[in-house]
Structure formats: structure tokens, C-alpha cells
Structure 1
């Protein structure tokens, strides 16, 4: 499940497990991009603490919060797994679906609860963000290359968009193709090839092993 800028795992009884960067780890552009692309601030410190969650304004890492705190005034959306390539490309914005199928609920909940207790490493907006946590919990897939963009559809969409307009082949443009058509084609191909469901630099990893390896790196 997700809101427009944060993705988490609903575990029942109105509780969501999600990954937050916490205060002091913002993108820092000073624009709406800070909230729209990778925002995950859990609560507003100027408001009274939530009677269920308490004060989450200084929390970071993997946390659990009530659905109201998770939404933070935003709208609720369902992140889709195992979609077809056609449906995947129909979603113009990244971070809304993946080609990778979801594992059974029991496996998903085990991963989410284990990571809540043991962490998911250091938050990184491009390699290890809230969408990365949710996708791992749902699929068990992890990127194993050190020099690589993360699992996040939000991050890979940004990279694909930049690549589309920087690397549009000149020969196609001079052959009569418009900048928009060429750029759109490269953008779509980039999104497909970078999705967790088709890329080659991923492996299925038990959550216990993932935590152990992450703690060694940190």
C-alpha cells in the first residue's frame, strides 16, 4: 500500500510498517520535490503526538505507525505486484507497480516484522528507500550489485527520464522522429529493464541473511 510519496506494508489492525529517513536526511531541494519523490516524514512535530503512535517526528529507520499517521493527510493507493508489461507502462509515474509477483502474506509479514525489529540498513533516497523496503518484503528480491540503482521504481523512473532526454540518438532525430517520441521510447524501455521483476542483478534472499549482511556493511 502507498500514499503518493510513501510506500509501506499493511500488517493489520490499522498498523503499517514502513521505512523513514527521519529528520536531517531530507533531499534538501527546498521544493515540493522533497515531499513528492522520496518523502517519508512520519509526523508533524508542531502537532500533538498521536494517541496510538506517540511522537514520531524524530523517528527514523523501519517503524510502525497507525494508518492515519502513515497517510499524513494524503490519499491511500494500492501498490500493484505482478502486473503485465502493458499495465506497467500505462502507469506513467514510477513507484506504483512492478512486474514482480508478490509472495504469500505469511512470508511478507514475517519479513516486515523482522525488519521492524532489526532494521533495513541506512536510508538512501536512490538505493534504499521506503519503496525498496516494501518491495523486498513483498517479493524477497534484493539487488546484489554494489554499483547499481536500487529496487525503487521512483528512483529508476528518475534515472530513466534523465537518460531518455540526454541520450536520445541523433540519427533517430535526424530521420524525422520527434524528440518527444524518441524520448518516450527510451524512457519506457529504461523503466522496463530496471524493474525488479526483470533485471538481472537481483537475488532472492532470506530476511535473516539480509539483516546479517547489512549489519556487516554498516
Structure 2
């Protein structure tokens, strides 16, 4: 593992690894759990890697991998079912480069990796527990896919840590989602500070500082609104409707929360 890249070779993979691969133009990365035997379990939106139900899908889908018309002889991605699928490593990578997500990184390394969705301060559970969670969710599902609150990275992070958000209305565990929201948020929050400095470099430094602070505070390893939940309890609550994932709009997520 290096400061600039988490790229790894296939030979270094072991069951329980959280892996990902960037898609075209590095717009987003697709995440999953490697479970051995060249298999990856990952979370999709009815077979599609991404999806918001909005016009944003035109950008996201256009950056996705071009899948051939010849079915893979070892795995099948279906548009039916609950969205958790098992694929061979080749289908998961879709021609992309293999990267391994890092856990229990120190704060300096976390902040040095300015792009979200590559590492976390949180500690991973043992590999056998990670594989058990992934296989259990393959059979029972992980709820409704939501690009901002319950996406492929959220799935992989849950498998690795067993952590869920206590507040179902909050932003998900995904570092990618936090980065997407954190960038405009940093611009908004830094605007009042124009009264402190009119220097463009000072404003840029302030915006970067706010962005880094939002990423750090939003990381699953730093948040206090999380709880540890067994995969059996998770699926039981999903079945009974005790846990649900809403479909928030992008505008709602970017709107500032009133302070009382």
C-alpha cells in the first residue's frame, strides 16, 4: 500500500478483503468483498452498479463499464432480486484496475488521500466474520440500494466492520458520498470567511480545510451515530421494516440543516 495508490495484485488477495475498481474517468469506484475462489460479493441496484433514479444517472451510467453480449460462463448478473450478487473477479473489475480498501489508517494518511472511498479510520473485524456477513447478505439482501445512503461501499464497509448508522436519515458510511457532499459543502461554508481574507489563495486553503474536516468527521471510524449489529439482526430488521432506506433527493442532502 502506498500513499498515492492502493493498487494491488491478484496474488495478494485473501478472503475478506474489501476491494474496489475505478470506473471510466475516475467518476466513481465500485466496491465489493473478495470471498476467495476468484469470487466477489457486491451490492448493486438490481444488477446495475449505480443509480439514483434522477438525471444524474445519465452521467453515472455513461461512465460504467461496457459489458459484452456474451454471458460470463461462471457468473450471472441479474436485474431481479435484492441487489447483492456474486461475480467472478474479472466481471467485477470489468477491465479496470484492482485496488484494496485500507482500514485502521492513521489520520495523517487518511487526510493525505484527498479522494474519498479509498480508506477509513475504522478497524476491520476478522476475515472469517467478514466473509460470513457477505455470504449471509448474498442470500438475504442488504435493503434498498441508495447511491447516497446505502451503496456498494456502504455494503463493503458493513461487511468489514458490522457498523450501521443509528440515525437512518443521516448520510451513509460511504467515503465517496461524503466527498460528493463535502465538496459543495466546503464551498458553502467557506463563503462567509471571505470577510476574513480576500486573498484567493486564502479562500482556497479555507475551502480545502473545510472539505478535509467534513471528510474526517464523516468517516465511519470517527462517527458517534453508529452501532454494531450482527448480520442476522440486520436482515431480520430489514424484513420486518424496522430498518428502511429512504430515497433523498440531491437537493435535500445539500440543503443546510436549520440550527435551533
TM-score, scaled to structure 1: 0.89
| Cα distance per residue 1:10-47 (max 9 Å; x no partner) | 000100000011368734436544466xx6x7x73x51
Task: Give the secondary structure class of the aligned counterpart of 2:98.
Answer: coil
One of 43, 51, 76 as aligned partner of 1:26: 51
Q: Does 1:154 align with 2:176?
A: yes
Cα distance in 1 for partners of 2:120, 2:133 equals 19
| Partner residue in 2 for 1:63 | 85
Corresponding residue number in structure 2 for 1:2? 20
Instruction: Summarize deviations over 1:116-172 as a string: whole Å, max 9, x none.
Output: 0100001011110000000000011111102100111111111111110012152x3
Runs (4+) of structure 1 moved beyond 6 Å?
none
Q: Would the aligned equivalents of 1:173 and 1:182 in 2 still touch at CA under 8 Å?
A: no
Aligned residues of 1:125 and 1:155 also touching (Cα < 8 A): yes
User: Does the CA-based 8 Å contact 1:100-1:139 persist in structure 2?
Assistant: yes
- What is the root-mean-square deviation in Å for CA atoms of aligned residues? 2.0
- Matched with 1:100 is 122
- Superposition TM-score, scaled by structure 2 size: 0.76
Q: Does 1:202 align with 2:226?
A: yes
1:114 aligns with 2:136: yes
For residue 137 of structure 2, give the secondary structure of its aligned residue in structure 1.
helix
Instruction: Count residues in correspondence.
Output: 211
> Equivalents in 2 of 1:202, 1:30: separation in Å?
29
Q: Aligned runs of 1:1-218 on 2, under 5 Å?
A: 1-4=19-22, 5-22=29-46, 26-27=51-52, 28-29=55-56, 31-34=58-61, 44=67, 46-54=68-76, 56=77, 58=79, 61-170=83-192, 172-176=193-197, 178-217=202-241
